[in-house]
Structure 1
């Protein structure tokens, strides 16, 4: 009878399974049946809950969802809720070494799994193995109890009594009592008979236990049939609403995708705005300093120099952009080496009042500038000072030095 019920259930319901889950950007899944055999091992990326549920539903009936941390993550709770399954969590978070050892021990008998395991499915497998280990003693007690009831000798006696017209209950009771009676009639010394009497009492207890077990199995049989009807009804309901559920899910995913794209665009615009505001603030600060220094220069005969870091075309353009260099501004080239006639030509377009050089300049560039009336001075000839981080020189010192070189200009 039990075999028939079991066969019926297995034909309509997938094998019960302990499913280990390793959530994250990549989701690891490992399902083991209740005899510790692998049913389904896989990693998912991207993680679509609909796909995970569909794949697991087609392979097994999850009854326990396991993870490797003490507090179950949200993804584990969602999967357990969808399958109406319990959740297993260890008493403490599993260490990397514990997970490696459990998986390696398990793979000794199943080396073919090595080809399908990755980091995520391996962690999921360790979660399932940990859950199975916690129930191992209880599973063994169930197997030992059912094994005792299904021994070949015991079945032979029961079947013989049933062939004689006895009911199953009566056949079970009679078979056990006959075994006990044969032990009592055995002609042995007194001390041996006392042992047999004890064994007889033990056998009678087993008969009663067997009857109680049979009654429990009958009740379980009825419960299984009832549960089977519920499962079939639920499956039909889920099948009828599956198309609608998929449409709703697709709409939700599309809506979420549009929202994410809009959020990214807003964040990018905010970043650009912050960059622009910082640049405006920097330029405004520089402009204020320049105006302040210019006013101080008018009062104290100081000339503000516009600094150019390097005598290259890029260096000149950078100074124009950062320092607001305009035609007629006096310049201070900190590193005058490197540039040639093309860079000198760009300076001629600005027509600076004069140029102070921080280092030596190439002969061709220097010649082009002087021939076109641009006065050149070395920082060794006039002292360059810094006022609020901006270079300045004494107007008097510049005029005297240029006069000594025979250069006169009303602009000075």
Structure 2
């Protein structure tokens, strides 16, 4: 399409130059013909690259070509803009604080015609979409998270490779440049392929850029190359036809006498050129429309497949959620049952231990009963410690009752209060291994509870109780009672003598006073 515009401008310029020559007659025909051929030979776009096109623009200021660019855009309070051409050269790298939208657009179009606006985040921000709509470009954004580290690494590597004087001064410029570089890298291989195949077809720099633009907009490379190449061939044919008509008319003297014929011929040529241009544009647009329709059809099929896939996944997800919920409920029920089982198991174990203890006590009790029935032996209840807790433990377990004989394994910890607990039970006798504290001994003796050393009666100790021969025990109890009675009589005599002595001493004092 650009080539058509160049050709139209060439025709206009040629006619202007032609009128300035003020042709008077057919004698100048050969000179004009040579000038025409020389002009088209030196300015034909089919034989030049971008540098020659630049010279052409200098010679013909009416013709202006705008480079195709990739714009990296980082919106925000401070806007970052990076502009690359399709060869990966940095054209601009700037940032604007609180910039107007018009200033941003002006900066971008001052460097060429943008064909892609690139963003460093996905999805693209609203400001990026607005800029893309204003410039009528595609949007390119990363498909995954573009980390700060990845951006910095990409920018540093790119600047090192191209040896550019540009360098980002802040994070906004860096993000914009990273977005533009990433987009360029995505298309770089295809751009190189277009350049290689375009040069094989003798396409100029601008024509190759047109191919790249068509490719970015969705047209396959081969189709785009053929379209631009066909347009170029049509332009060449139109030029050649124009030259032949012009030279023929000059030779036959069509322009020698009247300018009206020349003007009519010029108008006709312009109209034909315009018709060809419009036909080529229509053909180009039809190709783009067809390509977009094909792409739209593919996208619709893809959307339909994705919806079907999404529906299946949704159904699968709902089923998984239901299964998961059922599994959780089952786990809760199982957990509850397990807790109940553990509690029952614990209760069973406690009951089992208690039953074993009770069975053991029952056996002991039966043995004690058997011994009690016999006149030869007396059962002895064992108290492990001569303390309040030890006595209470034996009492609450049903081991102690009135008239029992007890065996203190350790009598050192007891006192008067501890001895009082035993006194309340009205025990038959207390057997000891070691020496009992005097306070406790006094309480028991005052309550007529015999205290007998185990070494004197030959006690036999079992696991839960002990036994002693009833004959020996009764004999020791009698000995203790006799001893206590004698001791009490002696104490009474001493008390009486003490009273008599006190009385005598008083009478003596009274007599001395008189």
| Fold conserved between structures, TM > 0.5 | no
Q: Which has the higher contact order (CA 8 A, sep 6+)?
A: 2
TM range (shorter): 0.3 to 0.5
Greater percentage in helix: 2
Which has the higher Rg, Structure 1 or Structure 2? 2
TM-score, structure 1 length as denominator?
0.44
TM-score, structure 2 length as denominator?
0.36
